Amino acid sequence: MIGTALLVTGAASGIGRAVCELGSKAGYHVHALDRDVEGVTATVDAICAAGGQATGHLVDVTRVEEVSGAFESVAKGPRLVGLFASAGIDLGGMAHELDPETFRRVLDVNTTGAFLVVQQALRVMIAAGGGSIVLCGSPAAQVGFAAGGVTAYGASKGAIASMTRTLAVDYAPHGLRVNAVVPGPTDTDLMWAGVAVGDRAAVRTKIIGEVPLGRLAHPDEIARCVLWLLSDLSSYTTGSLIGCDGGVLAKSSISM
């Protein structure tokens, strides 16, 4: 692990930040990318304070030049062996009322943003002879949420699921593995973004009641799954959508 690097988008917060911190503890030099300058600085400072090595990059993943600029800097450091594309947004709304610009924005960040970062990582990793890429899916790619209004988000994550499989097949001959983690409800800013502060306690209780494991995930629990996918411990796993969802996708709500 010494002398190798991991690049994480969405590194300022939530699951991305947890992967940065766990990745640093595992010995990677961490490249932390996010559009949130304060958050990405906090991630880098926390890693450095704990004795790790990290570089922050202020990048909007929808901007081609910003993404490629970050990779020019990454190329000057330790060999890039892992990518976790976590940057994402969830802007909800029932389809018949949804502003088309909102739909476009969600796909732009969650799908095109992931593609732009993956494209750069592929170029670096092909030249280096291999690597592991982990994308971030969602149960919304596979089921409709009872809460409703997840059209844009679900479509963006459905694209991630099919991109994962296609990339895995295309790049296996280059020694590259591509998988996606599928987190269940995880206690992060994104999870609460669309919920009024006064409603959060009731929503939390409702969600907890619907998750078979009976609780929300902590971002560290998703990060451990991602680190496994990034490492050689998962050396024969590619093209897989790995659930880390507390049993959400195993459950049907039909009850007698």
Ligand X SMILES: NC(=O)c1ccc[n+]([C@@H]2O[C@H](COP(=O)([O-])OP(=O)(O)OC[C@H]3O[C@@H](n4cnc5c(N)ncnc54)[C@H](O)[C@@H]3O)[C@@H](O)[C@H]2O)c1
Could you list the residues that contact ligand X (CB under 6 A)? 9-10, 12-16, 34-36, 39, 59-62, 86-89, 109, 113, 136, 138, 183, 185-186, 188-191
Spatial separation of the C-alpha atoms in residues 135 and 182, rounded to whole Å = 9
Spatial separation of the C-alpha atoms in residues 103 and 82, rounded to whole Å = 30
Q: What is the largest CA-CA distance in the chain?
A: 61
Q: Which is nearer to ligand X, 90 or 132 (CB)?
A: 90
Spatial separation of the C-alpha atoms in residues 121 and 83, rounded to whole Å = 7
Tell me if residue 153 is catalytic.
yes
Spatial separation of the C-alpha atoms in residues 182 and 184, rounded to whole Å = 7
Smallest gap from Cβ 83 to ligand X, in A, equals 13
Active site residue: 28, 153, 171, 236, which one?
153
CB-based burial of residue 76 (10 Å sphere; 0-12 exposed, 13-18 middle, 19+ buried)? exposed
Q: Which is nearer to ligand X, 188 or 238 (CB)?
A: 188
**Are 185 and 216 within 8 A, CB to CB?**
yes
Q: Are strands 79-85 and 54-58 parallel, antiparallel or unpaired?
A: unpaired
Q: Which is nearer to ligand X, 4 or 68 (CB)?
A: 68
Contacts of 105 (CB under 8 A, 6+ apart): 89, 91
Smallest gap from Cβ 34 to ligand X, in A, equals 5
Q: Which is nearer to ligand X, 191 or 227 (CB)?
A: 191
Smallest gap from Cβ 113 to ligand X, in A, equals 6
Question: Which residue bears the tokens 């998962």?
Answer: 234
Smallest gap from Cβ 189 to ligand X, in A, equals 4
Could you give the C-alpha distances from 155 to 50, 113, 204, in angstroms and in order? 39, 14, 24
Smallest gap from Cβ 121 to ligand X, in A, equals 15
Active-site residue numbers?
Answer: 153
